[in-house]
Structure 1
Amino acid sequence: MELSVRQKKIIEIVKDNEPISGDKIAKQLGLTKPTLRQDLSLLTMTGILDARPKVGYIYSGQTIEPLLYEKLFYLKVKEIMVPPVFIKHTTSIQDAITDLFMHDTGSLYVIDDDADFVGLVSRKDLLRATLNNSAIGTTPIAMVMSRMPNIISISADERVIDAGYLIMNHQVDSLPVVEKQDSSKVIGKISKSKLMNHFIASGYDMEKNKEQ
């Protein structure tokens, strides 16, 4: 997979002006820094650029193999998503904690009586909910969950790099994977740990193939 025209232009700007800040790169392109955030993140993660705090971006001289690039970043979310753990909106906080540890998961997806996705609760949410709360056995999870439409989600046909960007930018642990035509229907989950496993396993496999 080829780098985009804009990504190639960013590399040339860095080569000619290193070290250079993200703001200055954006100015040369006539864009805003937030517009370039995904491009800069990708170029840094692939090792083409090196981001140094209080210094700026420099060109590392590395390149990324097209097949590895495609396998790492352009894979569809549906290829690595996992089944979510659902609970009803009437489930008590205490029962939700039990479900969380029984399934060894970092988040639970809350559905209503029609099986529509209405909220999400994380380990952190449940920890906060138990502090100074003597009624966790009767308090419904709906009282402490994050609610739709304030939950960041993604569709199964979007790219792994897009999922990683959303998780990083919104500082969440996982994304619900929803049907493209109906965001109230969750069909999977993609988490920070799943993405990390994907990147490490893919890179390791590529190294092994080179040795052979």
Structure 2
Amino acid sequence: MELSTRQKKIIEIVKKNEPITGEKIADLLGFSRSTLRPDFLLLTFSQLLIAKPKVGYFYNTHKIEPLIIKDIKEKKVEDVMSVPVIVRSETSIQDTIIKIFLEDVGSIYITEHNHLVGLVSRKDLLKIAIGKINIEEMPISMAMTRVPNIAYIHGNDTVETATKKLLQHEVDSLPVVEFIEGEDLNHLKIVGKFSKTLISRLFLNLIKNES
């Protein structure tokens, strides 16, 4: 069952203020009681809310929790993705190391002419830093994992699909990409990042919703 934005707001109001009357909910939303009557009927008929005469509406945890979980699983990646940290391929390894720690991320994505060409992780950079190379002059392109050896996802993938891909490839994050037609081949434009940290935040929001 797909709830409207207004119905989701009603559920949230009831959760925070139960028991609460229909009149009070209508006042908080700025609608008349009669306007909201179809919403109340749907939410009580589906047992998402419990209505008690002369008392008000209650939040039905046992029905709402699976609905929230389903909503998170089916969210699109483009609705939750974060901003990727990017450097150009000619950036030195030293500057890349500095950036990854300043930005406090697990991976940095590498681009050429705005196209995704590779990535490096903290672990990669640590191995490089303790080696006998000149990190001040060597470009990060000499140390990155290159496309097509990078797993990626698209903005219209679901959070569930993206999470499975994270686990399948045993990585901390995935670039969110769009295909751009080049002269000879498809190029990848990076538009976001989907990470384990992001999943943790979604899970925390779920816990807060249920508490």
1:197 aligns to what? 201
Residue identity opposite 2:194 in structure 1 = I
The CA distance in 1 between the partners of 2:91 and 2:201, in whole Å, is 31
Which residue in the other structure is 1:156 paired with?
Answer: 155
Deviation at 1:204, TM superposition (A): 2.1
Pairwise CA RMSD of aligned residues? 2.1
Superposed displacement of residue 107, structure 1? 1.1
What's the CA shift for 1:66? 4.1
Q: Residues 153 and 183 (structure 1 numbering): CA distance in 2 closer, same or farther, change over 3 Å?
A: farther
Query: CA, structure 1 residues 196+180, in 2 after alignment: closer, same or farther (shift >3 Å)?
Result: farther
Q: What residue number does 1:19 align with?
A: none
Verify the 8 A CA contact 1:71 1:202 in the aligned structure 2: no
1:115 CA displacement = 1.2
AA in 2 matched with 1:133? K
Residues of 1 paired with 2:207 and 2:168: CA distance? 23
Q: Which residue matches 2:164?
A: 165
Q: Which runs of 5+ in 2 are unaligned?
A: 3-61, 181-185
Map 1:73-84; keep pairs closer than 5 Å: 73-84=73-84
Structure index of larger Rg: 2
Q: Which amino acid is 1:203 matched to? A: I
TM-score, normalised via structure 1 length: 0.64
Match of 1:188 among 151, 169, 192: 192
- Report deviation, 1:163: 0.9
Corresponding residue of 2:93: 93
Q: Which runs of 5+ in 1 are unaligned?
A: 3-61
In the superposition, relative to structure 1, how do residues 145 and 195 fare at CA in structure 2: closer, same or farther (>3 Å)?
same
TM-fit CA distance, 1:102 = 1.5
Q: Any idea what the Cα deviations from partners look like across 1:8-33, whole Å, max 9, x if unmatched?
A: xxxxxxxxxxxxxxxxxxxxxxxxxx
**Aligned residue pairs: how many?**
147
